[in-house]
């Protein structure tokens, strides 16, 4: 049996290709929580490489072995250079769980949280391969966080969630796509970029650009929103938002409680503009232990 979701930051650097120096931009800077993010620039406190080629890497260890469900890489200078993410298996071999054929160069900081191959084994060591050739400069990484579940000790059984003071059995893990758009602020048109495009599986991602098949707003202001519904009420553990043009504009995520009230589960005071597509998977900022199937972004 597995326990509750747990978050961990890097506890130790095992190995690395190079480092700019042993002080301000050392590989050990990646240990612990962010010190630079959300700032962007060549700022002391993040790992920078000593060489600017396609063969840079860092191997990091976390305190506890878990079933990793989410990886967040805090990039603070020339973001977009992560080329491969590998997880160390129990036999000490590495398994590639995410990779890309082409890296990019973004002049902004970001939290890179790719949708990776799910691990069937406990893991606490990752290897991140970096390609500096797109930026032709140093790539700086401030921190790495993993989220996942660990086994309960001594084969203990997980506690059941409670609704109306009654324990309920967890449903099997299920993935759902939007089944219906309930409401929205505006849409660009009724055909190529309507709000209803958000229903179902991705049609545009991983492509980036002003491409028909995704929802685009008709008004360019700070008050845009969409309310979506899923087919089945579940305990939400993760939300993936597939952004394909000017990513970074999600400002708030709300979940609708069974009593009809909206609960803010994630919020930021600063939107960004990222010239690449991404899967945005923020960590909830509040504990939300209720059945839910409606969200507002």
Residues 210, 275: contact at Cβ < 8 Å? Answer: no
Residue 111: inside a domain = yes
Q: What is the mean pLDDT of residues 169-191?
A: 81
Per-residue pLDDT band at 286 (split at 50, 70, 90): low
Residue 135 and residue 187 in one domain: no
- What's residue 1's pLDDT? 47
d(CA 222, CA 52): 39
User: Are 131 and 209 contained in the same domain?
Assistant: no
Q: Which domain holds residue 212?
A: 174-297
Residue 173 has pLDDT above 80, yes or no: no
**Phi, psi dihedrals of residue 27, rounded to the nearest 5°:** -60, -35
Domain at 201, CATH number: 2.60.120.260
Give tens-digit pLDDT for 234-252. 777 788 999 999 998 999 9
pLDDT, tens digit, for every residue of 22-79? 999 999 999 999 999 999 999 999 999 999 999 999 999 999 999 898 999 999 999 9
pLDDT surpasses 70 at 216: yes
Given this model, what pLDDT does residue 153 score? 59
* Same structural domain, 104 and 242: no
Residue 154 pLDDT grade (very low, low, confident, very high; cuts 50, 70, 90): low
pLDDT at 135 over 60: yes
Question: How confident is the model over 92-112, as pLDDT tens digits?
Answer: 999 999 999 899 999 999 999
In this structure, the answer to whether residues 129 and 256 fall within a common structural domain is no
pLDDT at 115: 84
Region 198-211 average pLDDT: 92
Q: Which residues are paired to 146 by β-bridges?
A: 8, 71
Q: Bridge partners of 88?
A: 94
Are 26 and 96 within one domain? yes
Task: Clarify whether residues 11 and 147 are in a common domain.
Answer: yes
- Region 12-18 average pLDDT: 96
Query: Looking at the 3D structure of the chain, how many domains does it have?
Result: 2
């Amino acid at each position: 049996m597995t326990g509750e979701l747990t978050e961990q930051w890097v506890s130790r650097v095992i190995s690395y290709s190079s480092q700019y120096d042993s002080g301000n931009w050392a590989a050990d800077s990646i240990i612990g929580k962010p010190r630079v993010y959300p700032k962007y620039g060549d700022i002391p406190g993040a790992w920078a490489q000593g060489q600017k080629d396609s063969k840079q890497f860092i191997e990091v260890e976390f305190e506890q072995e878990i079933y990793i469900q989410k990886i967040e890489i805090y990039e603070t200078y020339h973001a977009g250079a992560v080329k491969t993410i590998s997880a160390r298996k129990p036999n000490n071999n590495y398994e590639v769980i995410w990779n890309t054929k082409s890296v990019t160069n973004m002049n902004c900081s970001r939290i890179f949280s790719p949708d990776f191959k799910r691990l069937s084994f406990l893991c606490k060591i990752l290897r991140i391969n970096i390609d500096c050739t797109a930026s032709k400069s140093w790539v700086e990484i401030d921190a790495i966080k993993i989220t996942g579940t660990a086994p309960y000790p001594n084969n203990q059984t997980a506690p059941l969630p409670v609704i109306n003071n009654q324990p309920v059995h967890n449903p099997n893990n299920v993935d759902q796509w939007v089944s219906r758009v309930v409401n929205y602020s505006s849409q660009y048109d009724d055909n190529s970029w309507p709000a209803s495009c958000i229903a179902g599986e991705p049609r545009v991602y991983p492509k980036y650009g002003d491409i028909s098949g995704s929802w685009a707003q008709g008004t360019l202001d700070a008050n845009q929103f969409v309310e979506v519904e899923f087919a089945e009420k579940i305990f939400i553990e993760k939300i993936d938002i597939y952004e394909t043009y000017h990513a970074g504009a999600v400002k708030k995520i709300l979940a609708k409680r069974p009593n009809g009230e909206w609960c803010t589960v994630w919020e930021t005071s600063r939107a960004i503009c990222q010239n690449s597509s991404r899967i945005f998977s923020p960590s909830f900022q509040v504990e939300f232990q209720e059945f839910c199937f409606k969200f507002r972004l």
